[in-house]
């Protein structure tokens, strides 16, 4: 195995629910693969690969791809769904490789690596061959602002301690600086709104919270969870509920950088 890793910080994930209700996370990764432009035979690392949907897309273009994720549940699901591919459990802020990669790819994952973004960038740089590409998309500043505002208000109204949100949504300037200080030349950086229909979330914002912020519910008394989530829905609805259904207020930061 070409990858060595420290003990990953465990994020509890329900991989099946993630795939069935939140498949858009992967579906929206296609333009990022275009930007990556993987070539046959290239060695590519998919950082925060989840259940491996995009890892498989990259492999289908002939690249030799490895998926890395901090969640054992996700990696297990990825191995079952894509038995011909290589997936490893690893900490994005603490891995190293024995054979360098031509590119590191990451979709909708870097914002989960909030503890030490510079360590992630350091690991990515060290994993790349000179001139190697780092192509990624994450939530940018203002991402999910209406969703998180509804959460914070509901928590406060129920007298609960303010939840510590587990994500990192940088501004373009901040992340570009990190990349440059981390030894990358930024070739492209885009920052844009991407309102995202929550097509498979009949429970609206509450379903989103259960899936993506489930750990924040751990500290909530069980009897309070349902009314709290109903309140999140009431508070979020004016901004996010349309006639056609719920739409999450996603903001994306997409970049392509090269190891300097």
Residue ranges in contact with ligand BEZ by CB under 6 A: 108, 111, 139, 143-144, 167, 212, 250
Bridge partners for 128 per DSSP: 101
Tell me which residue of 42, 4, 256 sits closest to 134, measured CA to CA. Answer: 256
Which residue is closest to ligand BEZ by CB? 139
Q: What is the CA radius of gyration of the chain?
A: 18
Tokens, residue 260: 């300097």
Q: Which is nearer to ligand BEZ, 91 or 137 (CB)?
A: 137
Tokens, residue 89: 């459990």
We find the least distance from the C-beta atom of residue 148 to ligand BEZ, in angstroms, to be 8
Q: How far apart are CA 21 and CA 238, in angstroms?
A: 22
Tokens, residue 9: 């910080």
Q: Which is nearer to ligand BEZ, 78 or 128 (CB)?
A: 78
Q: Which is nearer to ligand BEZ, 12 or 181 (CB)?
A: 12
Backbone angles phi and psi of 113, in degrees to 5? -95, 60
Residue pair 25/44 in contact by the 8 Å Cβ criterion: no
Q: Which is nearer to ligand BEZ, 122 or 194 (CB)?
A: 194
We find the least distance from the C-beta atom of residue 18 to ligand BEZ, in angstroms, to be 10
We find the least distance from the C-beta atom of residue 70 to ligand BEZ, in angstroms, to be 14
Tell me which residue of 232, 216, 211 sits closest to 157, measured CA to CA. Answer: 232
Q: How far apart are CA 175 and CA 79, in angstroms?
A: 32
Q: Which residue matches tokens 């995009």?
A: 54
We find the least distance from the C-beta atom of residue 181 to ligand BEZ, in angstroms, to be 24
* 3-state SS assignment for residue 55: helix
Q: How far apart are CA 251 and CA 143, in angstroms?
A: 5
Q: Which is nearer to ligand BEZ, 36 or 213 (CB)?
A: 213
Q: Which is nearer to ligand BEZ, 58 or 151 (CB)?
A: 151
């Amino acid at each position: 195995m070409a990858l060595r890793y420290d003990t990953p910080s465990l994020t509890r994930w329900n991989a099946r629910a993630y795939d069935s209700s939140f498949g858009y996370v992967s579906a929206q990764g296609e333009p990022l693969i275009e930007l990556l432009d993987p070539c046959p035979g290239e060695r590519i690392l998919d950082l925060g690969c989840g259940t491996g949907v995009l890892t498989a897309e990259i492999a289908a273009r002939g690249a030799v791809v490895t998926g890395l994720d901090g969640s054992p549940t996700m990696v297990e699901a990825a191995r079952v769904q894509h038995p011909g591919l290589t997936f490893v459990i690893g900490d994005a802020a603490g891995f190293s490789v024995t054979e360098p990669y031509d590119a590191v790819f990451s979709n909708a994952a870097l914002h989960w690596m909030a503890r030490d973004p510079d360590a992630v960038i350091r690991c990515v740089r060290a994993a790349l061959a000179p001139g190697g590409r780092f192509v990624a998309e994450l939530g940018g500043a203002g991402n999910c602002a209406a969703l998180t505002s509804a959460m914070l208000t509901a928590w406060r109204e129920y007298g609960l301690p303010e939840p510590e949100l587990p994500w990192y949504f940088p501004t373009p300037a901040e992340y570009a600086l990190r990349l440059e200080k981390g030894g990358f030349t930024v070739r492209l950086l885009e920052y844009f709104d991407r309102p995202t229909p929550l097509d498979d979330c009949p429970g609206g914002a509450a379903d989103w919270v259960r899936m993506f912020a489930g750990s924040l519910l751990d500290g909530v008394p069980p009897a309070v969870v349902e009314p709290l989530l109903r309140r999140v829905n009431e508070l979020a609805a004016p901004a996010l509920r349309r006639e056609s259904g719920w739409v999450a207020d996603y903001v994306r930061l997409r970049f392509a950088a090269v190891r300097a």
